[in-house]
Amino acid sequence: MEPGEIPPSHEVLDLPDWLPRSVGDFAQSLWVDLHRRPAEPEVGDLLRRLASDPRMRKVWAELRKRKRESHQPTDDFVHFVTPMEYWTPASRYDLQHPEKLRERGAPPAEILAAYNAVRLQASYQGQGPRLSLRDLAMVYFFDSAFTLGHQDIRLVPISELRKKSRHYLKMAKELRADAAEQERLGLYEGRRMTEAACAYEELVKAPAPAPGRSRLVTRQPRGATRIKGFVRAFGDITNAVYGSPLYGSVATTANVVFGGDKLTADAVRKMLSDAPRP
């Protein structure tokens, strides 16, 4: 929409007054987009639940809770917000492993992370007044819950990843053999085949092929794999943004996403503590 444009009535999402304004504006923009392109009805239902389910009220209250001193609220928040450079997994990985970028001849990790942070901020800023870091964090929280909620995020058996790795290595070996044959015949596709082989080999070395390197990888998934996948992925996001897994808020949000009421903070704590450390 253009700034100031009023959407048709069917494109207006009914929002409660307790929803943070920044989150409400973003939810409304998503709602308008859903009505202007084909989308499954359950996606719209998920967006409506996350924006208006009364259980989410305590989640936003928790994210905005201030520390108290002498029974009076202070200017300090209970949950601090980390710099945006650390919010996304790709940026965190680059900052933690700058040598990987140097090996590829890529720009320094700090520059890439700062660029990704600017892009992320621009995607949430919209046309309104400049959002604070805390407002951006709440919008990111909402967007992450919505995105993970309508994706099929599940725990992955290590056996499946090992099978994929074997397939990638087989493809790389065949491509290198074809590249050698191209060179022998004096043709010019050998370099492209070698680059493709390198890409397959990089997939095998990527930071998620084994337990201990991805929290979505498990030796043997058991029951409710989609909910567990959501909790692990979303818990990593809250930990990255707020420096805490926020067990209670993750449990409440997961209940809203999946239309349930049985997931507890203790259950989320166990799911995250059982997950391998990345």
In three-state secondary structure terms, 214 is: coil
Tell me what pLDDT residue 213 has: 37
Token representation of residue 237: 């996001």
Tell me what pLDDT residue 159 has: 56
Other beta carbons less than 10 A from residue 47's beta carbon: 22
Tell me what pLDDT residue 239 has: 93
Tell me what pLDDT residue 42 has: 87
| 164: confidence class by pLDDT, cuts 50, 70, 90 | low
Looking up tokens 């300090």, which residue turns up?
Answer: 76
The torsion defined by the Cα of 270, 76, 53 and 36, in degrees rounded to 10, comes to -110
Token representation of residue 177: 């053999």
Mean pLDDT of all residues in 16-31: 94
For 246-258, how does the pLDDT look when each residue is reduced to its tens digit (9 = 90+)? 999 999 999 999 9
Question: CA-to-CA distance for 53 and 145, rounded, in angstroms?
Answer: 14
Q: Which of 272, 217, 221 has its CA nearest to residue 250?
A: 272
Tell me what pLDDT residue 157 has: 54
Mean pLDDT of all residues in 268-276: 78
Mean pLDDT of all residues in 30-49: 86
For 178-231, how does the pLDDT look when each residue is reduced to its tens digit (9 = 90+)? 778 777 766 666 777 777 777 766 656 554 433 333 444 444 445 457 888 889
> Is the pLDDT confidence value at 154 over 70?
no
**What's the mean pLDDT when you consider all of the chain?**
80
Mean pLDDT of all residues in 8-20: 81
Tell me what pLDDT residue 220 has: 45
pLDDT over 90, % of the chain:
36
Question: CA-to-CA distance for 90 and 96, rounded, in angstroms?
Answer: 10
Tell whether pTM > 0.85.
no
Q: Which of 81, 82, 83, 61 has its CA nearest to residue 73?
A: 61
Mean pLDDT of all residues in 150-160: 62
Mean pLDDT of all residues in 90-97: 84
